[in-house]
C-alpha cells in the first residue's frame, strides 16, 4: 500500500462519494443538511462547492419523501446516495426503504433494479436517548433484496462505500457517529473493497470473536484483556452483513472451536442470532460449546451516560462471554 496517509473515517466516506461522483454523473447525494451545512456530521464537507446544488441536494425533513424520491429516480437510471442524518430517522421512511427499494426488482419481474445507497449514523451516539440510538442492522438485514455494509475503519469505509455506489442493488451503509473521527491509513490510489468479505482484525487460536462496525473496537479491547489471561481471540470484522461472509467465520471457528458474536443491536432475532444459527449449522462438529452472543442490553437506549455505556456490548461483557464459552468462567 504505497503512499499511505491517515485520514478520518468521515473523510474516507467523502472521498468515496466524491470519486464516484466525478466518474459517474448519475450519482448524486441527497439528504438533510448535506449541502450548505456540509452534513450534520461534516461528512459531505466541501462537496457542494465541488459538485453544485444539483448534485449535492439539501432535502426537507421528509425521510419518507426523499428516500422514495431516490428510489423512484433509480427507475430512470440514476444512482442516488441518500444520507440519513441518523438511521434512527429512517424508521419514518421504512415503507420506502423496506417495501420498495429491496423489492422493486422482484415485484417488477426483473424490469427495475434499484441501485441506491442509503447511509448514515447507526447505533448509540453519545447520550442521544432512546429514539436517536437505533441499531437498525438486525431490523433491516432481515429483508431480502438489499445489501448491508458496516465498515469499522476509514480504509474499509472508503472501499466499501465505493463498491456500494457501483452496486446494482440497494446498499445500506451503516456508520457510527463514534467512529467518524477515528483516523486510519487510506492510500491515495483508488481501490474498492468487495461487499461480502470479512477480514481478520486480530489472529488468534482460542476463540473466534465476530464483530462489525463499532463492536470491532469492543472486541479488540476484550481481546487485549483476555490475552493477559492467555486466551488468544481471533477477531473477525464482518464489514458486510448482507451478504455475510459465513465462510470466514466457519474457517475461524473450525480452528478455535469457540465462537462469540458481538452485535450492538438487540439480541432477539438479530444478526447475532443469525450468526449463531449459521455457525451451529455449519460448525456443529467443530464446536466445543454453543455460540455465545453479546448484544446491547434488551432495553431502550438510556440517556444517562453510565447507563448508556453499560447497555453497549462492551469489553467486559465480551470477556465474560469468551470465558464462559471457553470454559474458563
Partner 1 sequence: MPIDITMPRLSDTMEQGTIVKWHVAQGDAVESGDVLADVETDKATMEMQAYDDGTITSIAVPEGQPVEIGTVVAVMAEEGEDAETTPAPAAAPAPAEAPAPAEAPAPAEVPAPAEAPAPPATPHAEAPKTRAGHVRISPVARRLAEEHGVDITTLQGSGPMGRIVKRDVLSAVGATQETTASVPPSAAPGAPPTPAAPAPAAVVVQATPVARAAEKKPADLTVSSGFGLQSHSEPLSNMRQVIASRLVESKQTIPHYQVSMAFDMDPMVEMRTTLNDQLKSHGVKLTFNDLVLRCCALAMYTNPLMNASWGGDHIDYHGDVNVGVAVSLPPERGGGLVVATIRNADRKSLRAISEETHVLVDKARTKGLTVDEMSDATFTISNLGMYGVDNFTAIINPPNSAILALGAIQQKPVVRDGQVVVGHEMSVTLSNDHRVVDGATAAEYLVTLKDLIENPGMALV
Partner 2 sequence: MSTTTTPNLKAHEVPIPELDVLKSWLLDMLRIREFEVRAMQAYQNKLAGGFLHVYNGQEAVAVGCIAAMRHTDPVITAYRDHGHALARGLDPKIGFAELFGRIDGCAKGKGGSMHFFDRDNHMFGGHGIVGAQCPLGTGLAFATKYNDEVINGGKSDSVTACFLGDGALNQGSVHEAMNLAAIFDLPIIFCVENNRYAMGTAIDRCTASGDQITNRAVAFDMEARTIRGMDVIEVYREMTEIVEWVRSESRPYFLDIDTYRFKGHSMSDPRKYRTHEEEVEFEANDPIDKLSRYLTSSKLMAEEDIKAMSKSVRSEIREAVAWAKQSPVPDVSELHHDVYADVWGPFTGTSLPRYMLEKRSGEGGDADGA
Residue 36's binding partner among partner 1, partner 2, none (Cβ under 5 to 8 angstroms by kind) is: none
Shortest separation between residue 301's beta carbon and partner 1, angstroms: 23
Q: Which of 38, 132, 295, 314 is catalytic?
A: 132
Residue 63 is a catalytic residue: yes
Residue 68's binding partner among partner 1, partner 2, none (Cβ under 5 to 8 angstroms by kind) is: partner 2
Name residues contacting partner 2, limited to 147-176 (CB under 8 A): 147, 167-169
Query: Binding of partner 2 at residue 72 (CB under 8 A)?
Result: yes
User: For residues 149 and 186, which CB has a smaller minimum distance to partner 2 in the complex?
Assistant: 149
Alpha carbon distance 211, 217 (integer Å): 9
Strand 207-211's sheet: what is its strand order? Answer: 199-202, 233-237, 207-211, 259-263, 292-295
E strand intervals along 233-296: 233-237, 240-242, 259-263, 292-295
Q: Which secondary structure element, helix H or strand E, spans residue 81, and what is its range?
A: strand 79-86
In 3D, which of 254, 310, 304 has the Cα closest to residue 284?
A: 254
In 3D, which of 166, 158, 219 has the Cα closest to residue 8?
A: 158
Q: Which of 182, 287, 312, 321 binds partner 1 (CB under 8 A)?
A: 287
Place of cell 447507526: 122
Shortest separation between residue 304's beta carbon and partner 2, angstroms: 33
Name residues contacting partner 1, limited to 237-256 (CB under 8 A): 255-256
Residue 228's binding partner among partner 2, partner 1, none (Cβ under 5 to 8 angstroms by kind) is: partner 1
Name residues contacting partner 1, limited to 189-248 (CB under 8 A): 205-207, 222, 225, 228-231
Alpha carbon distance 173, 310 (integer Å): 26
Query: Binding of partner 1 at residue 326 (CB under 8 A)?
Result: yes
Residue 100's binding partner among partner 1, partner 2, none (Cβ under 5 to 8 angstroms by kind) is: partner 2
In 3D, which of 228, 227, 225, 245 has the Cα closest to residue 236?
A: 245
Residue 8 is a catalytic residue: no
Query: Binding of partner 1 at residue 110 (CB under 8 A)?
Result: no
Shortest separation between residue 248's beta carbon and partner 1, angstroms: 18
Q: What is the DSSP letter of 227?
A: H
Q: Is the dihedral of CA 103, 214, 153, 28 positive or negative?
A: positive
Query: SS3 breakdown of the chain: % helix, strand, coil, rounded to 5?
Result: 40, 20, 40
Binding site for partner 2 (CB under 8 A): 25-26, 28, 54-55, 57, 59-60, 62, 64-78, 95-96, 99-100, 104-113, 115, 144-145, 147, 167-169, 196, 243
Amino acid at each position: 500500500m504505497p503512499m499511505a496517509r491517515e485520514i478520518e473515517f468521515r473523510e474516507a466516506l467523502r472521498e468515496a462519494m466524491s470519486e464516484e461522483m466525478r466518474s459517474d454523473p448519475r450519482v448524486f447525494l441527497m439528504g438533510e443538511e448535506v449541502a450548505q451545512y456540509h452534513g450534520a456530521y461534516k461528512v459531505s464537507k466541501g462537496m457542494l462547492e465541488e459538485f453544485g446544488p444539483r448534485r449535492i441536494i439539501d432535502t426537507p425533513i421528509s425521510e419518507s419523501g426523499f428516500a422514495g424520491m431516490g428510489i423512484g429516480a433509480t427507475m430512470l437510471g440514476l444512482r442516488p446516495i441518500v444520507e440519513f442524518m441518523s438511521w434512527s430517522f429512517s424508521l419514518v421512511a421504512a415503507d420506502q426503504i423496506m417495501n420498495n427499494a429491496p423489492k422493486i426488482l422482484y415485484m417488477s419481474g426483473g424490469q427495475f433494479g434499484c441501485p441506491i445507497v442509503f447511509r448514515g449514523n447507526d447505533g448509540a451516539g453519545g447520550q442521544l436517548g432512546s429514539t436517536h440510538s437505533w441499531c437498525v442492522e438486525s431490523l433491516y438485514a432481515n429483508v431480502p433484496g438489499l445489501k448491508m455494509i458496516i465498515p469499522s475503519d476509514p480504509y474499509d469505509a472508503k472501499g466499501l462505500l465505493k463498491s456500494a455506489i457501483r452496486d446494482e442493488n440497494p446498499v445500506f451503509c451503516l456508520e457510527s457517529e463514534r467512529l467518524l473521527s477515528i483516523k486510519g491509513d487510506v492510500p491515495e490510489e483508488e481501490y474498492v473493497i468487495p461487499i461480502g468479505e470479512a477480514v481478520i482484525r486480530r489472529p488468534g487460536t482460542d476463540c473466534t470473536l465476530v464483530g462489525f462496525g463499532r463492536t470491532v473496537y469492543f472486541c479488540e479491547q476484550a481481546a487485549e484483556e483476555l490475552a493477559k489471561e492467555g486466551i488468544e481471540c481471533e477477531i473477525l470484522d464482518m464489514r458486510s452483513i448482507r451478504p455475510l461472509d459465513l465462510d470466514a467465520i466457519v474457517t475461524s471457528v473450525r480452528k478455535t472451536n469457540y465462537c462469540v458474536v458481538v452485535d450492538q443491536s438487540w439480541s432477539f432475532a438479530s444478526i447475532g442470532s443469525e450468526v449463531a444459527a449459521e455457525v451451529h449449522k455449519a460448525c456443529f462438529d467443530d464446536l466445543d460449546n454453543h455460540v455465545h452472543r453479546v448484544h446491547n442490553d434488551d432495553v431502550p437506549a438510556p440517556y444517562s451516560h453510565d447507563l448508556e455505556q453499560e447497555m453497549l456490548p462492551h469489553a467486559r461483557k465480551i470477556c465474560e462471554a469468551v470465558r464462559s464459552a471457553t470454559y474458563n468462567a
